[in-house]
Structure 1
Amino acid sequence: IGYFLPPNLGGFYGQLQYSFSEKTKYSPGTATPDVANNSRTGRYIGGRFGYANGPLDIAAAYGSSTVGDQFYVGTTNKVNTFNLGASYDFGPVKLFGEVSRSKNKLDYETEPFLGGRPDVDLTGYLLGVTVPVGAGLIRASYSAVKYDNNQQEVLFQPRIADPKANKLAIGYVHNLSKRTALY
């Protein structure tokens, strides 16, 4: 279910979303194991709100999704994401950027004796530019993401470094018509 704010709010815009779970009750006729109750798996709630005026566009978004639910084991796995993005069109060049923070959280009904799996945090950003050239558009961006596995120190075991990734992207889009483009 989605709701869009009316378009005439002086540059402000937004959207709210809700997604029902994938399965509302356990059915013995399915292949689902007896220990699984997926009543909340797939549930999503989120929203995005922003302001656009002339060449400036800025928006923030938040979403929470239940990606796993083991009722009898006592765990619920959720992914919560927050983004903040902005763009500014200078005419011949459009700049844009985005920062995001995501948390993969495993909630325990009863905390396991050995501590359980730690939450995983991700922090990322993207900086980019687009430049119109004739009927086409040159695109370039740089992005980076860093994982924080929140690992606990274990006796006689070295801590594994948290992964990270960087990406440089360059492309060109050539518009053949309003609906057809080559890239």
Structure 2
Amino acid sequence: MKKICAAAAAGLVTSVACAQSSLTMFGVVDAAVTYTTGSGPASTSRWQLTNSANSFSRLGFRGNEDLGGGLSAGFWLEEGLMNDTGTGFPSNTNNQLNGTAGLGTQTFNRRSTVSLTSSTLGELRLGRDYTPTFWNTALFDPFGTGSGIGANQLYFSGLGGLQAPTGTRASNSIGYFLPANLGGFYGSVMYAMGENISNSTLPATPGALPVPNKNDGRYGGIRLGYQSGPFHVSIATGLTTYATGDLRVSNLGASWTFEQLMGLRVMGEYYVESLGAVDGKGALLGFILPVGPGEIKASYARYVRQPVGNVPDPTTSKLALGYVYNFSKRTAVYATVARLTNSNGASQALTGVTTSPNHASTGGETGVRVAF
């Protein structure tokens, strides 16, 4: 990381300004060669040069100013990068499908916030930020939420995951975070606005009454957790309002680090959700085992969609195994293999391919990640 004094050109007051404020530029560039394939009569396969397989590629700037008396002000601007093509990830302006910016647009889609923090009262944060319900998915999966073939299956196939406007982040949000000195306890709440006008309605079909949707895109969520020594547990829940059916997501994550077993960290997540009348639920169990300068990671996830009516529940399971070798704190190489299986009509597949219902998808990837 490169730290730059925010007032480096301020002449005689430079030393004072440097002691009170800072600007940090940071990022990750991650690329991998990936091969994935489906199975069955409607299957495809593909070789790709992908990005973000181990950790999402990004470029960011964050700053902080000490205001005295335990109070500070800060900002955070962070954009996702598709470094295999030199473009950016999409963002969303109103937490609704019609607010999604085009793929490839360079935006600060990952985080764009300004905040005031008190050492005794906590932090007030405004802007586009991670939702409380996203954090457990990110922290309690050995593969995190990179877009590689080992990534969290609950997040990628769930109703409230990758494809949902508030599955990861919410725009127009007001967030509050408890102070950090609570003996291991922490928590946050968020309220985000869809910003529709007061008489907004859904497009109506001829002869039908208009359906008000002024609250579409409104999100509310809360997360509470405890971390001390080897133990970490967190629970979160959130609701996004839509006239066509609300999105509800709740999850519970936990981990334990066994120092006497080479620092083995075992973790898991339980996940329940609904979108209107359709429900979903899933669970994940995994571990990270440090081995010399690297680490072995593995996970097993199972997700069940529960549609309306007396029909079989489409079910998807994924087993992933990976290894990361750290040349330094900044640079690593990695390799991952994964196999995804479907039943009861499910047809999920690994990155970039299709598979027939009730068939499997397999793949492998190897890449390099550099952080700065």
* TM-score between the two structures when normalised by the length of structure 2: 0.38
Residue in structure 2 matching 1:51, options 188, 203, 226: 226
For the residue of structure 2 that corresponds to 1:24, the secondary structure is: coil
For the residue of structure 1 that corresponds to 2:194, the secondary structure is: coil
Residues 88 and 96 in structure 1, CA contact (< 8 A), matched pair in contact too: yes
Q: Per-residue deviation at 1:25?
A: 4.0
Q: Per-residue deviation at 1:82?
A: 1.1
1:79 aligns with 2:247: yes
**Distance in 1 between residues matched to 2:191 and 2:325, nearest whole Å:** 36
**CA 1:21/1:162 → structure 2, altered by over 3 Å: closer, same or farther?**
same
**Distance in 2 between residues matched to 1:181 and 1:38, nearest whole Å:** 47
**Distance in 1 between residues matched to 2:183 and 2:332, nearest whole Å:** 33
Gaps of 5+ in 1: 70-75, 106-118, 152-158
Q: Kindly provide the CA deviation profile for residues 86-111 of structure 1, in whole angstroms up to 9, marking residues without a partner as x.
A: 00000221000111111112xxxxxx
Residues 22 and 38 in structure 1, CA contact (< 8 A), matched pair in contact too: no
Q: Counterpart of 1:170?
A: 321
Equivalences for residues 93-108 of structure 1 within 5 A: 93-105=264-276
Residues 24 and 38 in structure 1, CA contact (< 8 A), matched pair in contact too: no
**CA 1:104/1:33 → structure 2, altered by over 3 Å: closer, same or farther?**
closer
One-letter amino acid of the structure 2 residue matched with residue 63 of structure 1:
G
Name the structure with the higher strand share: 1
Residue in structure 1 matching 2:214, options 20, 39, 52: 39
**Distance in 1 between residues matched to 2:295 and 2:182, nearest whole Å:** 31
Q: Per-residue deviation at 1:141?
A: 0.3
Q: Per-residue deviation at 1:172?
A: 2.1
Q: Per-residue deviation at 1:85?
A: 0.9
For the residue of structure 2 that corresponds to 1:145, the secondary structure is: strand
**Distance in 1 between residues matched to 2:247 and 2:282, nearest whole Å:** 15
Residue in structure 2 matching 1:143, options 293, 301, 304: 301
Q: Counterpart of 2:184?
A: 11
Q: Counterpart of 2:81?
A: none
One-letter amino acid of the structure 2 residue matched with residue 168 of structure 1:
L
Percent identical across equivalent pairs?
45
Q: Counterpart of 1:121?
A: 279
**Distance in 2 between residues matched to 1:26 and 1:17, nearest whole Å:** 25
Q: Counterpart of 1:88?
A: 256
**CA 1:2/1:171 → structure 2, altered by over 3 Å: closer, same or farther?**
same
Q: Kindly provide the CA deviation profile for residues 106-140 of structure 1, in whole angstroms up to 9, marking residues without a partner as x.
A: xxxxxxxxxxxxx1111100000001122222110
Q: Counterpart of 1:181?
A: 332
One-letter amino acid of the structure 2 residue matched with residue 169 of structure 1:
A
One-letter amino acid of the structure 1 residue matched with residue 256 of structure 2:
Y
One-letter amino acid of the structure 2 residue matched with residue 47 of structure 1:
I
**CA 1:33/1:149 → structure 2, altered by over 3 Å: closer, same or farther?**
closer
The number of equivalent residue pairs is 153
One-letter amino acid of the structure 2 residue matched with residue 134 of structure 1:
G
CA-based RMSD = 2.2
Q: Per-residue deviation at 1:36?
A: 6.1
**CA 1:19/1:176 → structure 2, altered by over 3 Å: closer, same or farther?**
farther
**Distance in 2 between residues matched to 1:45 and 1:181, nearest whole Å:** 37
**CA 1:24/1:165 → structure 2, altered by over 3 Å: closer, same or farther?**
same
**Distance in 1 between residues matched to 2:275 and 2:280, nearest whole Å:** 8
**CA 1:174/1:39 → structure 2, altered by over 3 Å: closer, same or farther?**
farther
Gaps of 5+ in 2: 1-173, 205-209, 335-372
**Distance in 1 between residues matched to 2:333 and 2:245, nearest whole Å:** 40
Name the structure with the higher helix share: 2
**Distance in 2 between residues matched to 1:136 and 1:38, nearest whole Å:** 50
**Distance in 1 between residues matched to 2:332 and 2:192, nearest whole Å:** 33
